[in-house]
Structure 1
Amino acid sequence: MVRIDEIESGIFRLSIFSTESGFQYNVFLVRDEEPLLYHTGPKSLFPQFSQAVDNLIDLNDLRWISYSHFESDECGALNGWLTIAPQAEAIIGMVGAAVNGEFAIRPIRPLQDNEVFSTGKRSFRYLRTPHLPHGWDAGFLFEETGRILFTSDLFHQNGDVEPITEASLVDRFQHVLRNFQGPFSNYIPYTLHTEQMLRRLADLQPKTLAVMHGSSYKGDGKRAIEELIQVFKENL
């Protein structure tokens, strides 16, 4: 079952809790003149997510599909969405479009670092962040109108948690980092450039953090990311 919550005006968080993984899979729909979907969800959850989106917009109107990096929960269902939404176009960073683009059934529009595009009333800036959260193709979208940062795996939390909170997410995220074991123990790499990239995100002063796994956050996003920097230093 998909839970749907409007976390900002016209921005919907669609969430499925997986008992197998122990955490939520969240995709975000931006309802605008040219609707945008952020994250596709894994292929196995496409029927549920697509039905939920169909309840919010006409799928023929879906125009943009974006995600952070090449991974099954980020873009596994991309071709499913491209099939049922004939006007839709994937829009991601140049590296992702170049190295993984052939898996898509239609050409992907590449974005340069700091490039801005519009969906109508909303304006999105692409920020290239190699290996943050992971993958050299990684990047983030920042919605400038409402100051909303789509954070992918940053601030990951386990459990079937509330849709959005004003409480700090740092303790929950730190718990995830400390408890991933075995092949998942290096969930997020820490490089010489990690802090610099996080500070760039913090300087955007986001008001909302749209989180892929777990609760989204409303409040002082700059402070939240600065707290995250300290968690990275202590745990990675």
Structure 2
Amino acid sequence: MLYGGHIKAPEDIDFLRKLKFDFGEVIVRDKASRSLWANSGVTNQYDDGFFLVAHGPHEGPPNDLNNIWNTYIPALAETVDIIERMGISFLTIHSWMDPRFVKTSVLEEKKNALRRIVDYGRQHKVVISLENLSENAADFEAVLNVVPDLAVTLDVGHGQLLTETNTSFGIIERLGSSIRHVHLHDNRGGTGVRDDLHLGIGEGIVDFPGILRALVGSGYNGTMTLELEKYDLQKGRAKINRIIQLSQE
């Protein structure tokens, strides 16, 4: 596996490289951060093998099609332009596709929006990857049936929210071949954004041994971002690495 952490500012790159992480996930959340990275001079070229991926902006109101088409999709396109110039070729995005909370008509239009941004990404040699929020495997399958070249970013912490059983298991089982990136953090379950605590590994109830065993069993051997505070990164990496080693014995 390849382990990474968040990069919110250029100096975070040196921090992760000193800790011998494999990569960093550049956070491009809003207009200010797009401006920051557009003018940073940072490029995805490092002599030690370190590399960069990216994470795009928040979607905004999930049922507001005007916002999706006129604000969110343009923001994603601008993000693609910026990271292409930085030499980054992988972008994780949000688009809430849970039919419990998003209207059916909106879900259908969102699929068209995702088709649009995936095509735009391809034109600029950037892979677009959709991160699970509260969706289950069936919800994501409905999206991939329309946009089959959309990649999946599996967020195991999000998989613990608004559910009795972590949805990561179903996503791995049914969509394992589409998973291109993983986010790791812990929580105690819950029913909303306030419960997305991003605790250190093992501080919540996420079944990391079970999920990682399933992930490794599916053949995954790619990038994993530890979405943790800086002080938790090394400890989190060691814990995850140990769990994976044990799962292979």
Q: How does the TM-score come out when normalised to structure 1?
A: 0.36
User: Which structure dedicates a bigger proportion of its chain to strand?
Assistant: 1
Larger radius of gyration: 2
